[in-house]
A and B are shown apart, each in its own frame.
Chain A
Amino acid sequence: MKKTWPLWEVFVRSKNGLEHRHFGSLRAADAEMALENARDVYTRRMEGVSIWVVESKNITASNPENNGELFEPAQDKVYRHPTFYKLPDELKHM
């Protein structure tokens, strides 16, 4: 048997009120072990109050080669920003 433990991505919420952030990855046989290992590896110094683990193969990532079509269209849409709109100086609270 020459199978290896799958790869997991670890997300940690450092304190309530903050989102879970990607902390890193690890290998584990199953989700339960991934959680335990994540606790040992990434939260030894009170770095977190909540952990998510997800098997890496379940993540679909965008490809940098497609960055043009994905992200460039936003560049010519300055009208999505408040500063695009010219208003008189005497206008307050807007």
Chain B
Amino acid sequence: MSENEVKNLEDIFEARIARDEKIEPKDWMPEKYRKTHIRQISQHAHSEIVGMLPEGNWITRAPSLRRKAALLAKVQDEAGHGLYLYSACETLGISREELYDQLHTGKAKYSSIFNYPTLTWADMGAIGWLVDGAAIINQVPLCNTSYGPYARAMVRVCKEESFHQRQGFESLLKLCKGTPAQKEMAQDALNRWWWPSLMMFGPTDDESTHTEQSMKWKLKRKTNDELRQQFVDQTVPQAEILGINIPDPDLKWNAERKHYDFGEINWDEFWQVVKGHGPCNKKRIKDRVGAWERGAWVRDAALAYSDKKELGEQTESKIAS
């Protein structure tokens, strides 16, 4: 294909997206579109999978059967989310093994939030409330993104996320209405999870490199800073209901902007964690790789069993004929 022909195809392609048409797996697409989507969808899938680890840490220690059932169901949902997203990603012509390999070798990124430790039971509440809350704000616009398989996966994911946030809030509310020590535990969780949650929206708009292209492809509808503001505005009143304090002395309502002003994010910490130096980066990958390796014999055995069954069926039909 000549350069001109490609340019022509690209123009037609961009016009389709601008008209709100969806792109499906077998459609022609620019290489950059394919690559960007593989990167974003796989990072998203990895985040769902790694995200199970900090919460899995507390399943056996949940304080009641109600909480245990909810946490188990949530973690199971996250596994499902990872699976929907890996499947969507595979339609772009990358194999599941390659995707796992990128995660296991540290070549691929996942959401930095999961590199923080879950120290107390209150962290389960804080994660549901804040981390899933931030994820919902990031994800809802993706239900209308241009790549069909990604958009369909996100519709399913978003439907399930709402329970994640609500169970987290309920569990924190219970602690906040409990003994002073329980409320203290909830406050401590908020203190530790607040800033990392704000970082989930990514660098500030002037630092963010791919915003314009992402807007065109509907991988983004609002900028990082707009989404972060939305999160702060919706979360502050929720903290008031809990009766615990957001750890930001600069946080206050700005009547002119009709938004909350908030303090400076520690971007050094953000980049440190992104680059692999967060409190749990190494542990998360080690745990993930360990689980994958320990499961190898199960995967092999299942395949061997299916081969054997197939062989058995073939001989049977030979005998019969």
SS of B interface (majority): helix
B105 to chain A, nearest CB (A): 16
Q: Indicate if A58 sits at the interface (CB-CB under 8 A).
A: no
In chain A, positions 12-65 with a C-beta closer than 8 Å to chain B are 24-27, 29-30, 33, 40-41, 44-45, 61, 63-65
B303-A44 in contact (CB<8A): no
A5-B299, A61-B26 as given contacts; A27 in contact with B305, CB under 8 Å: no
Q: Is B303 within 8 A of A3, CB to CB?
A: yes
Return B271 CB to nearest CB of chain A, in Å.
Answer: 35
Looking at B76, B95, B300, B306, the one whose CB has the most chain A CB atoms below 10 A away is B306
Query: Interface size of B by Cβ–Cβ distance < 8 Å?
Result: 26
Contact of A24 with B302 at beta-carbon distance under 8 Å, contacts A41-B80, A44-B76, A63-B26 already known:
no
Q: Is the CB of B80 within 8 A of A30?
A: no
A24 and B299: CB pair below 8 A?
no
Q: Are B87 and A5 in contact, with the CB atoms below 8 A?
A: no
In the complex the two chains form, what is the Cα distance from A26 to B87 in whole Å?
7
Residues from chain B with Cβ under 8 Å of A61 in the complex: 26
Whether B309 and A30, one on each chain, are in contact in the complex, defined by CB atoms closer than 8 angstroms, is: yes
Q: In the complex the two chains form, is B27's CB within 8 Å of A29's CB?
A: no
The 7 closest A-B pairs by CB, nearest first: A29-B302, A30-B306, A25-B87, A29-B306, A29-B303, A64-B27, A41-B80
CB pairs A–B below 8 angstroms (23 shown): A1-B303, A4-B97, A5-B299, A5-B302, A5-B303, A24-B84, A24-B152, A24-B153, A29-B302, A29-B306, A30-B306, A33-B302, A40-B76, A41-B80, A41-B83, A41-B84, A44-B73, A44-B77, A45-B160, A61-B26, A63-B26, A64-B24, A64-B27
Interface residues of B, Cβ cutoff 8 Å to A = 24, 26-28, 73, 76-77, 80, 83-84, 87, 90, 95-97, 152-153, 156, 160, 299-300, 302-303, 305-306, 309
Measured CB to CB, the residues of A under 8 A from B are: 1, 3-5, 7, 24-27, 29-30, 33, 40-41, 44-45, 61, 63-65
